[in-house]
Every structure is written in structure tokens, then in C-alpha cells.
Amino acid sequence: MQDVAKFVRRVRKRSPTGAAKALLKVLDKAPEAALAALH
């Protein structure tokens, strides 16, 4: 989980748009669900 938080903070500095922005929102609200969907 901490790795995901680090990644999100790092990506946010690049001002993502579109799908990347939506993914960051999902990771913020429900990181466990997002990671479970990847497995």
C-alpha cells in the first residue's frame, strides 16, 4: 500500500489527464479494490 501511495504522489506531480487522472482517483478512494482488480 505504501508503494502505491508513493507512486500516486510521484505521478501527480506530472499533472496527469484523462484515464490516468481517473485511475489516480480510484487509487485514492479505494486502493485495495484497484489493486485486487489487477490480480
What pLDDT band is residue 12 in, cutting at 50, 70 and 90? low
CA dihedral defined by 16, 31, 29, 2, rounded to 10 degrees? -80
| CA dist list (Å): 5 to 18, 20, 26 | 20, 15, 12
Provide the 10 A C-beta neighbour count for residue 5.
12
| CA dist list (Å): 35 to 22, 23, 38 | 15, 11, 5
- pLDDT at 3 (0 to 100): 85
- Locate 14 and state its grid cell: 506530472
- The answer, as to whether pTM is greater than 0.85, is no
